[in-house]
A and B are shown apart, each in its own frame.
Chain A
Amino acid sequence: MPVEVRLPTVLRPLAGGGAVVKAEGDTLREVFKDLVRQYPGLSESLFTPEGDMHRHLNVFLNDDDVRYLGRLDAKVGPADTVTLMPAVAGG
């Protein structure tokens, strides 16, 4: 069962323009890899060159920040929604 992934406006042009896409996976890492398989342009926005989660990305599994759920190892189920949002920061 695919999970729903909600994209911020800045990433939508890289994923067909929609606000919501579907991706398969039992962990966040697998979901991200499936997203990149479908939309290769998302790769640099999701992963660091070392394969970790991009540090300028906020990722929520339903209402929870995945940084507290194991990051890319967070378990994902078919009823879950993954929400991606850019880190909003400055000085």
Chain B
Amino acid sequence: MAVLVLPQALWERVVAHCLDGLPMEACGLLAGVERTGGVGPGSIEAGEMGAGEVGAGEVGAGGAGANGERWRHEDLTVAEVCEVYPAANAALSARLYTVEPKDLLRADRAAERAGWSLIGVWHSHTHSPAYPSPTDIAAAPDPLWHYVVVSLSDTEPVLRSYRIVGGQVREEPVLTRGIAARALGW
């Protein structure tokens, strides 16, 4: 399984960009690093996670995975977001987004200069839940990416992250860095 670590300051920048984009959908890129295995034993319980810090149904429902198992570090892929790059929505739409190609190139180059990779994308849903739409699923370009959806349809923004592989959607926990450090033994 995978975990997305999104520092609180970057969480706020993502959500702020989504709010700034209203009434249109907003989007941007996530840059960071990924590590698999050897990241320390997991011991997160749902109650340890603060509001706005976690958007994963499987954690909320079962502590750590739908079946309630603790995270086993040898199976865990940790994707740490080191920077976020807001992008223009070239679709200029409240229902669709297209990351402006120039912004995509700029983000890719900036990430590379910093020693990171682009590891995902975020976009807002202005009137629907934080779950990938059929359009999102069909258009997902990279099975290794993390697809973050920010819903602005309720009183508070809701941010959740997913992997989309072969049309299958799997939600992943989103942790702030502080919680990840405690949970993953950093």
Contact = CB atoms under 8 A, between A and B. Distances in A.
Given A9-B117, A58-B105, A87 B142 contact: no
B105 A63 contact: yes
Interface residues of B, number: 28
B142 A89 contact: no
Contact of A83 (B96, B105, B140, B142): B105
A45 to B, nearest CB: 10
A88 B141 contact: yes
B95 interface: yes
Interface class of chain B by DSSP: mixed
Interface string B109-150: 000000001000101000000001111100111111000000
Nearest to A8: B142
A88 B121 contact: yes
Contacts of B117: 9
B141 A60 contact: no
Q: Shortest 9 CB-CB distances between A and B: which pairs?
A: A91-B135, A86-B141, A90-B136, A88-B99, A89-B98, A10-B142, A58-B101, A91-B96, A91-B133
Interface of B: 25, 27, 29, 91, 95-99, 101-102, 104-105, 108, 117, 121, 123, 132-136, 139-144
Given A65-B101, A87-B99, 10 more contacts: A8-B142, A58-B101, A63-B105, A83-B105, A85-B105, A86-B142, A90-B123, A91-B25, A91-B97, A91-B134
